[in-house]
Amino acid sequence: MQPSLLRLFDLPLSARYMLVSSLGFALMGACVKAAGASGLPVLEIVAVRALISLVLSFIDIRRKRIPMLGQNRPLLMLRGVFGTIALIAVFYSVTTLPIAQAILLQYIHPTFTAVLALFFLKERINLGTVLCIVLSFIGLSLVTAPQWSAHSTTDISWLAIAAALTGAFTSACAYVVVRKLAQTEDPSVIVIYFPMVAAPISAVLLIAQQSFVVPTLYQLTLLVAIGVLVQIAQIALTKAMSVENAGKVSAYGYIQVVFAALLGMMFFDEIPTGWTLAGGVFIIAGAFINSWKKSLKSR
Neighbours of 11 (CB within 10 A): 13
Using N-to-C axis directions, what is the helix angle for 109-120 and 158-181, rounded to 10°? 40
Sign of CA dihedral 152, 156, 159, 162: negative
Cβ–Cβ < 8 Å for 89, 106: no
The mean per-residue pLDDT over the stretch 21-30 comes to 93
Model-level pTM?
0.84
Comparing CA positions, the residue from 4, 151, 180, 148 lying closest to residue 78 is: 180
Query: Quick check: 19 pLDDT over 60?
Result: yes
Query: Quick check: 260 pLDDT over 50?
Result: yes
Q: How far apart are CA 34 and CA 68, in angstroms?
A: 34
Cβ–Cβ < 8 Å for 177, 78: yes
Q: What is the pLDDT of residue 45?
A: 96
What is the tens place of the pLDDT at every residue in 213-226? 999 999 999 999 99
Q: What is the pLDDT of residue 150?
A: 47
Q: What is the pLDDT of residue 151?
A: 47
The mean per-residue pLDDT over the stretch 1-29 comes to 73
Cβ–Cβ < 8 Å for 188, 60: yes
CA 69: distance to chain centroid? 25
Query: Quick check: 188 pLDDT over 70?
Result: yes
What is the tens place of the pLDDT at every residue in 60-117? 899 989 988 888 999 999 999 999 999 999 999 999 998 988 988 888 887 888 888 8
Query: Quick check: 280 pLDDT over 80?
Result: yes
